[in-house]
Amino acid sequence: MERFNVKRGLVKQVTADGGLAALARRHFDNVEGTGGNSFSASHGIMTSITASYNEQGALVAEVTNVPPNFDDPEAMKAAMDARRRWTTFLDDATGYDSKQRGNKAKEWAKKASKAKSAISGARHFMRMSENLSDKVREQAESMIEEIEAALEQGDNTRAAGRAEKLSKSLQ
């Protein structure tokens, strides 16, 4: 399953234009709306495509591909067409081009890494510190639990924000 950031306001626009399934019908075959802003479809080498906007406003998609017959030029053309359609769909569904999507994915991963690093640093600091009050330790552990919960829910932005607050509280 892949997660893609979506430009602010685009989910509302897509919803107003008929939803994600309507957008997918412009790019794929056999599109079926599966409720809300979600669909399942197929096209060429992509035997299964499912996608939806999640609660945080990101596009979550899963695609199953089968390899084409590399010896058949027509099969290769069809495979390239399917990949082009997928890329165009992502451009339309996220509001970002492929380079921007890559940059956003790096930012997203960086936020998770920053949050995990802050947890590790806070725990190390609390082990090493001799004059840290019980109240501060309790608050730090509470924030660590919030950060871990946010990471489990896939909310890296909230996790990174709480991690920053955790680091400041231990200074």
Pair 106, 148 in one domain: yes
- Please write the tens of the pLDDT for every residue from 127-160: 998 888 889 999 999 999 999 999 999 899 999 9
Contact 157, 111 (CB under 8 A): yes
Please provide the average confidence, as pLDDT, over all residues in the chain: 93
Exposed (0-12), middle (13-18) or buried (19+): which is 71, by Cβ within 10 Å?
A: exposed
Last residue of a domain, one of 96, 125, 140: 96
Q: What is the pLDDT of residue 79?
A: 93
Is 74 in the same domain as 108?
A: no
Cα–Cα distance, 83 to 94 (Å, whole number): 16
Q: Do residues 64 and 121 share a domain? A: no
Q: Which domain-ending residue is among 62, 96, 130?
A: 96
pTM value > 0.85: no
Tens-place pLDDT, residues 71-91? 999 999 999 999 999 999 999
Give the model's confidence band at 56: pLDDT under 50 very low, under 70 low, under 90 confident, else very high: confident
Q: How many domains does the chain have?
A: 2
Please give the pLDDT value at position 130.
85
Range of the domain at 79: 2-96
Tell me: do 106 and 85 sit in the same domain: no
46-63: average pLDDT: 94
Q: Are 52 and 86 found together in one domain?
A: yes
65, 96, 127: which is the final residue of a domain? 96
Using 50, 70 and 90 to split pLDDT, how confident is the model at 36?
confident
49 pLDDT exceeds 90? yes
